[in-house]
């Protein structure tokens, strides 16, 4: 599974990293009115999910 996060969203990046997601990035891929933003791509393989009570780990935000 994967998700994307804007580079400036430090709080969310920290939460997903703590849950085991690994980080990649698409540098300056989003055009805004005055500049470009970098998009952080975070992913996790099914085998990397942490089991909890017999189910796959679910993030609680």
Confidence of residue 34 (pLDDT cuts 50, 70, 90): very high
The structure tokens listed for 48 are 């990397």
pTM of the entire predicted model: 0.66
Identify the weakest region by mean pLDDT among 8-12, 31-35, 48-52, 54-58. 54-58
Residue 57: per-residue pLDDT? 53
Give residues with Cβ within 8 angstroms of 6, minimum separation 6.
30, 37, 38, 39, 40
Q: What's the DSSP call for residue 14?
A: H
Beta strand 36-43 with 55-56: parallel, antiparallel or unpaired? Answer: unpaired
The structure tokens listed for 39 are 């998009």
Residue 56: per-residue pLDDT? 52
Is the pLDDT reported for residue 49 higher than 60? yes
What is the C-alpha to C-alpha distance for residues 21 and 45, in angstroms, rounded to an integer?
Answer: 9
């Amino acid at each position: 599974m994967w998700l994307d996060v804007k580079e400036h969203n430090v709080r969310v990046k920290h939460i997903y990293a703590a849950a085991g997601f690994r980080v990649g990035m698409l540098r300056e891929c989003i055009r805004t009115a005055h500049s470009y933003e970098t998009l952080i791509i975070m992913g996790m393989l099914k085998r990397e999910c942490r089991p909890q009570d017999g189910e796959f780990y679910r993030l609680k935000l």
